[in-house]
Amino acid sequence: MKKWLLLPILALIPIVGFSQESILVTYFSQSGSTRKMAEAIAEGISSENEVALLKPIHEVSQDDLLQAKAIIVGSPVYNGNPPPELLTFINSWPFEGRPLKDKIGAAFSTGGGISIGEEAVLHSIHRAMLIHGMLIIGGEEVEAAFGASAVTDEGPFDGIDPIFLLKAKGLGVRVALWLKKIH
């Protein structure tokens, strides 16, 4: 194929990480559970023909935050709170002039037990997003009103149960659908 034919075709391919039209799904995960939830959220976003930029927090740049149409943040529960690494990440967000104002924000969490702090972590992330002027979106169902969460190590739950992955996918779908409504 001639180069002059290939260049216009390449221009049509979205480059994940450089697209201003992406939804950033970022997370902190040591065990892999929060990463699995992030992947399910990205799947939900993609199912609505939106581009998901999936990155752990230590790989997210200021440009990723500023260029994203929406930011979805995930965290495990550490003693009822987000881990220090996640709070340091959020505290590094640009604040001067409130450049994240009016972006859609959402949250997801994973915890080792029932009532160990998943909802508290979601609210902690929401509070930070609200300080930045972001618009918070919850999950698709009433059982995921504050975002997606998963219990990973108590009772019948050993790892991420498929029901929690469905809630995560639903959160991705809902954020993508809201973006279509407002853009």
- Please state the domain extents for the chain: 19-182
Q: Which tokens hold the place of 100? A: 């994240």
Task: Calculate the dihedral angle through the C-alpha atoms of 129, 43, 46, 127, rounding to the nearest 10 degrees.
Answer: -10
Tell me 59's DSSP state. Answer: G
In this predicted structure, what is the pLDDT of residue 17? Answer: 42
Nearest alpha-carbon partner for 147 in 73, 46, 36: 73
Residues of the chain with pLDDT under 50: 1, 3-19
Is CATH 3.40.50.720 what the domain over 19-182 is classified as, yes or no?
no
Distances (CA, A) of 145 to 25, 89, 97, 107: 18, 24, 30, 11
Q: What is the pLDDT of residue 6?
A: 44
CA distance 116 to 111: 6
pLDDT-above-70 percentage for the chain: 89
Write down the pLDDT at residue 15.
39
Say what the pLDDT of residue 16 is. 43
Q: Which among 146, 152, 4, 150 has a CA at the least distance from the CA of 72? A: 146
Structure pTM? Answer: 0.88
Q: Cα 74 to chain center, whole Å?
A: 6
Given this model, what pLDDT does residue 158 score? 77
Pairing type for strands 148-151 and 135-136 reads unpaired
